[in-house]
Amino acid sequence: MKILVAVKRVIDYNVQIRVKEDGSGVVTDNVKMSTNPPDDNAIEEAVKIKESGKATEIIAVTVGEEKAQETVRKALAVGADRGIHVKIDGTVEPLAVSKILKKIVEKENPDLVFMGKQAIDDDCNQTGQMLAAHLNWPQATFASKIEVNDKSLQVTREVDEGLETIEVNTPAIVTCDLRLNEPRYASLPNIMKAKKKPIEQINASDLGVDTNPRIEHIKIEEPPKRKAGIKVASVEELVQKLKNEAKVI
């Protein structure tokens, strides 16, 4: 069984986002970048499945500018066997990414495609579902547990009401939630070894898909700031304030 894992390079989750003054976007120069956190869970799960003997090869793929390759390199360091970098500059909407990934799936014929449920930059939560739609494959989104069977998966999904379990036949798309597993850190020897693993570069323009943005970003602005609050000295004072000042209890 072959697993394709899609990863995205985003501003690190610990970075305090700053909005550019001209309203054109957020500051990314000299800002720490990392792999989108739930994509780390996707890689980890693929590696665990391979370690259990149920998968034979893991391919990590990313779509983005030159430096996006770093996320593939990191995936290789934690256990992916080879990488694919689809090069494209500028904004790529989830719809375009899903069309690009479809081309890669058609080329590689994986049995499973894993990725994070949502990227923490645009917070779109679309790519996996869109890819599943293009391929007419089943989708198991927001996975917190995956059981691999012969020709199917049993996936526990985190939904608003609690947990839901579905069974999907393979080939299938799974989007991973943060509680699926605990992503490992790459060891130094594995980081060194990963440098020798191959990453194939493909130009998005050679894939023959429409990647033109359909959504115009008219303005990016800071959200309204909350006015500063106060510290209260005691529980009594807190309750009085809530009752008499804020009038919420």
Partner 1 sequence: MSVLLIAEHNNKEVKPFTLNAITAASQIDQDLHVLLIGSKADDVAKSLSEVPLVKKVLHIDHEIYENYIAENYTAAILKHADKYSHIICSANTFGKNLMPRVAALLDISQVSDIIKVISPDTFLRPIYAGNAFATVKSNDEKKCVTIRPTSFEAAETTGGSAEIEKIDAADQSENTKFINREEIKSDRPELGTARIVISGGRGLQSGENFKLITDVADKLNAAIGASRAAVDAGYITNEHQVGQTGKVVVPDLYIAVGISGAIQHLAGMKESKVIVAINKDGEAPIFSVADYGLEADLFEALPQFLEELNKLNTIQK
Distance CA 163, CA 14 (A): 28
Determine if 183 is a binding residue for partner 1 (CB under 8 A).
no
**Distance, CA of 51 to CA of 38 (rounded, Å):** 20
Binding status of residue 147 toward partner 1 by CB under 8 A: no
Measured distance between the N- and C-terminal CA atoms of the chain, rounded to whole angstroms? 57
Stretch that binds partner 1, among 49-57, 60-68, 72-80, 225-233 (CB under 8 A): 225-233
Residue in the block written with tokens 């719809």: 95
* Contact with partner 1 (CB under 8 A) among 107, 122, 185, 187: 122
Beta bridge partners of 42: none
Which position among 106, 149, 159, 201 is part of the footprint of partner 1 (CB under 8 A)? 159
The reply to whether 218 sits near partner 1 by the rule CB under 8 A is yes
- The residue from 137, 191, 197, 207 that contacts partner 1 (CB under 8 A) is 137
Residues in contact with partner 1, counted by CB under 8 A, come to a total of 81
How far, in Å, CA of 33 to CA of 19, rounded? 16
CB 115 within 8 A of CB 162: no
User: Among the candidate windows 55-63, 107-115, 160-168, 194-202, which touches partner 1 by CB under 8 A?
Assistant: 160-168
User: Does residue 243 interact with partner 1 by CB under 8 A?
Assistant: yes
Cis peptide before 171 (omega within 30 of 0): yes
Amino acid at 18: R
Instruction: Tell me which stretch binds partner 1 (CB under 8 A): 48-56, 58-66, 79-87, 121-129.
Output: 121-129
Site for partner 1 contains 28 (CB under 8 A): no
Residue 114 near residue 46, CB atoms below 8 Å: yes
State which of positions 40-99 bind partner 1 (CB under 8 A): 93-96, 98
